[in-house]
């Protein structure tokens, strides 16, 4: 997965979690504001009761509208709606008493959410705190309720302000990470383009010149033309090898992905497969070599083995990691093509890590490819254990 896709996937997961948190917060806010209304609906309402019901509904709508904004702190402070919210919150607490204390806290919290600077949060927290203390003192609340009325609302406002600033910081980090990922991807593309240009520029120019020369002398000096064509072939082969080496250096295969790809390839070829992996968290270079082994082994089984069943086993302990591919193809059939450049390249990768490669026929029938390299990592519990036939359910 490219850095850009990693960032998109991470941002998508973060956005979903933020939406879930916003829904939870809105649910708690609605409950806190409307819960006192439930107690009022069980008896006849006077003017004060109707004011509390209508005020609670209006306040709930205002708070949900503002808190439901995707990025509230990124917009200018909506002073008018905040003033209405503050007036409703204080009025409901003043008229309804201690049952509406949570409404006072919600009002202060709304100010904190919409504060890009501390000033609005301090205004909301101070106004709600003073109103709480005043009403508690006038109505003769107990000392515990006086403390709650004076401090719950300011604390809610300051906590919401802190949470809003943290959300802004996270959003900025997400944008910065996305920009860095795009810049890294662009830089990598430029590097690949530059390296491929350096690899192919000289070779293609030489091929063009030699081909033109061979075309001019083919009638007058056929032997020289043949030599030039042979040199063109040599240069082209070397260029192809250079490009393959460069691309292999840019892209490191992943063992888990290659095991899944091998299963799909064997299924498509009509070959039943048993795939077991008892290795996890291997060093990157070891994981890459085992991935190349699985890819090379599965590809050659499909091309050359005429097998009906293949077993792929990955194992690791504290000393070494191994990959083994066994098939039940005809043992007597010569597999000279299996020992081609692909297996030779795999052998070079294995030897570069101090490992060993073994390939050959097994009795009574079949062929085995086995690679063992120093692991440098302990084995863990089995991660993959698949035994299936092509077309089985759950493909």
* 189 pLDDT above the threshold of 70: yes
The answer to whether the pTM exceeds 0.85 is: no
User: Do residues 130 and 225 share a domain?
Assistant: no
Percentage with pLDDT > 90 across the chain: 7
Does any domain span residue 234?
A: yes
Does any domain span residue 138?
A: yes
Quick one: tokens of 299?
A: 């590809």
- Final residue belonging to a domain, choices 203, 235, 250: 250
Long-range contacts of 23-32 (CB under 8 A, 24+ apart): 25/67, 26/64, 26/67, 26/68, 29/60, 29/63, 29/64, 29/67, 29/106, 30/60, 30/64, 32/102, 32/103, 32/105, 32/106
For the domain that residue 219 is a member of, what is the CATH number?
1.20.5.1930
Task: Pick the more confident residue, 15 or 334.
Answer: 15
Distance from C-alpha of 266 to C-alpha of 308, rounded to nearest angstrom: 10
Does any domain span residue 393?
A: no
User: Do residues 301 and 356 share a domain?
Assistant: yes
Task: Write the pLDDT tens digit of every residue in 331-369.
Answer: 645 444 444 556 777 888 888 889 999 988 888 888 999
Does any domain span residue 246?
A: yes
Does any domain span residue 395?
A: no
Instruction: Pick from 42-46, 105-109, 117-121 the range whose average pLDDT is largest.
Output: 105-109
User: Do residues 259 and 371 share a domain?
Assistant: yes
User: Do residues 231 and 363 share a domain?
Assistant: no
For the domain that residue 330 is a member of, what is the CATH number?
3.30.565.10
* pLDDT at residue number 337: 46
Q: Is 394 left (phi over 0), alpha (psi -120 to 50) or beta?
A: left
Domain span at 208: 186-250
Distance from C-alpha of 368 to C-alpha of 310, rounded to nearest angstrom: 10
User: Do residues 113 and 245 share a domain?
Assistant: no
| Angle subtended by helix axes 101-113 and 79-96, to nearest 10 | 170
User: Do residues 78 and 153 share a domain?
Assistant: yes
How many separate domains does the chain show? 3
Does any domain span residue 12?
A: yes
- Final residue belonging to a domain, choices 250, 268, 303: 250
Task: Pick the more confident residue, 277 or 190.
Answer: 277
User: Do residues 82 and 220 share a domain?
Assistant: no
User: Do residues 283 and 367 share a domain?
Assistant: yes
Q: Is 131 left (phi over 0), alpha (psi -120 to 50) or beta?
A: alpha
* 371 pLDDT above the threshold of 90: yes
């Amino acid at each position: 997965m490219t850095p850009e896709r990693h960032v998109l996937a991470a941002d998508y997961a973060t956005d979903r979690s933020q939406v879930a948190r916003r829904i939870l917060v809105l649910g708690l806010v609605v409950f806190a504001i409307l819960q006192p209304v439930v107690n009022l609906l069980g008896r006849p309402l006077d003017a004060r009761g109707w004011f509390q019901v209508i005020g609670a509904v209006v306040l709930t709508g205002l708070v949900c509208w503002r808190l439901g904004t995707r990025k509230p702190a990124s917009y200018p402070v909506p002073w008018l709606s905040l003033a209405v919210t503050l007036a409703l919150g204080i009025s409901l607490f003043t008229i309804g008493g201690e049952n509406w204390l949570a409404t006072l806290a919600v009002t202060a919290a709304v100010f904190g959410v919409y504060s890009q600077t501390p000033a609005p949060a301090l205004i909301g927290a101070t106004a709600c705190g003073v109103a709480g203390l005043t009403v508690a003192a006038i109505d003769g609340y107990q000392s515990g309720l006086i403390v709650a009325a004076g401090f719950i609302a300011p604390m809610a406002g300051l906590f919401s302000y802190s949470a809003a600033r943290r959300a802004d910081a996270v959003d900025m980090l997400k944008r910065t990470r996305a920009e860095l990922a795009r810049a890294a991807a662009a830089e990598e593309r430029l590097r690949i383009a530059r390296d491929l240009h350096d690899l192919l520029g000289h070779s293609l120019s030489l091929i063009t010149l030699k081909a033109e020369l061979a075309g001019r002398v083919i009638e007058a000096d056929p032997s020289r033309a043949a030599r030039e064509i042979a040199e063109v072939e040599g240069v082209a082969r070397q260029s192809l090898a250079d490009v393959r080496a460069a691309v292999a250096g840019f892209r490191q295969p992943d063992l888990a992905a290659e095991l899944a790809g091998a299963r799909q390839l064997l299924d498509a070829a009509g070959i039943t497969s048993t795939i077991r992996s008892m290795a996890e968290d291997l060093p990157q270079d070891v994981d890459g070599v085992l991935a190349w082994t699985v890819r090379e082994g599965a590809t050659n089984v499909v091309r050359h083995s005429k097998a009906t069943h293949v077993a792929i086993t990955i194992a690791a302990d504290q000393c070494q990691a191994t990959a083994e591919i066994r098939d039940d193809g005809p043992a007597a059939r010569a597999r000279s093509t299996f020992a081609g450049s692909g297996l030779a390249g795999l052998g070079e990768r294995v030897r570069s890590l101090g490992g060993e490669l073994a390939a050959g026929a097994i009795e009574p029938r079949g062929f085995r490819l086995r690679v063992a390299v120093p692991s440098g990592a302990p084995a863990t519990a089995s991660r993959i254990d698949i035994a299936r036939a092509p077309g089985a359910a759950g493909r």
